[in-house]
Amino acid sequence: MFNTLLDQVNSQIKNNSGKSIKLANEFEEHHTKDSKYIIKNWLWELPKYRKWRITRLDGGKRLQVFNTVIYPQFESELPILGVDILWFGSSKKILAVLDYQPLIQTKEYLNEYCSILGEIKNEFPLFGNTGMKNLYDSKKFFSPWVIIYRGEENNSDNDLDKIFSIFLEQYLDLNNLKVKNKFLNNLQIKEKHIEYDKYSADKDPADKLFINFFGVDWTEKFIKNFLFTLS
């Protein structure tokens, strides 16, 4: 599941001159003792992005996860691309969250860099939901147009591929369309990236799941050395 999303990512990385960064073996691929859950991770560096990470968790008919984050260079105030897509075997439901995660919440910044997400939401009404539960603060590193889908897998399959494609392409285009910073200087940008990693490391509900599967030691290393390295 989600292999087509991974294909899209790999082809965009190739188009954008990505350089693969070697990961420690235990992050590249890691299994639970019974091999019922397998996590695979990839890390890339690109001319315009300092870090592009991808995670696939394959729990067979129990759980499937596709997670990816793109961090622009510290010289660019563009939002961080964030994607978290989960399929739960027990309920056969999908949770998909996709956003251009804003560094700041001013109206001008959000309009400049995030508002195009509104067009995707208009085109795909199933993904029109913006209501978040209380895991995260919707006003911190999320845009007012965050794309959220919660529901049956059948309804979303094709749309998810299409949405992801537009979502990714438009994001990568931002780097050609919006070349000059208007709101933040380099130091402020770096501070925001650090804050993003700290905030996310603190809020991400994934840690409970990882501790359960792979233990505390591995999970702590994984968060510090792969997921949120600036935390």
Which of 56, 73 has the CB closer to ligand BLA? 56
Shortest gap between Cβ of 25 and ligand BLA (angstroms)? 18
Shortest gap between Cβ of 185 and ligand BLA (angstroms)? 25
Residue among 172, 171, 167, 227 nearest 203 (CA): 227
Which of 86, 163 has the CB closer to ligand BLA? 86
Q: Is the dihedral of CA 36, 162, 44, 118 positive or negative?
A: negative
CA distances from 128 to 10, 98, 111, 132, 148 (A): 27, 11, 18, 12, 7
Token pair 């919660």 in the structure block, residue:
150
Shortest gap between Cβ of 1 and ligand BLA (angstroms)? 13
Instruction: Give start and end residues of each alpha helix (H) in 16-147.
Output: 25-28, 107-113, 117-123
Please identify which residue in 87, 136, 171, 196 interacts with ligand BLA, judged by CB under 6 A: 136
Residue 35's CB is within 10 A of a number of other CB atoms, namely 8
Site residues (CB under 6 A) for ligand BLA, limited to 95-114: 95, 97, 99
Binding span for ligand BLA by CB under 6 A among 28-36, 94-102, 157-165, 168-176:
94-102
Please identify which residue in 133, 176, 177, 179 interacts with ligand BLA, judged by CB under 6 A: 133
Token pair 């603190």 in the structure block, residue:
202
Shortest gap between Cβ of 133 and ligand BLA (angstroms)? 4
β-strand pairing of 29-31 with 93-101:
unpaired
Does 69 interact with ligand BLA (rule: CB under 6 A)?
yes
Where does this chain bind ligand BLA (CB under 6 A)?
55, 57, 65, 67, 69, 82-84, 86, 95, 97, 99, 132-133, 135-136, 204-206, 209, 227
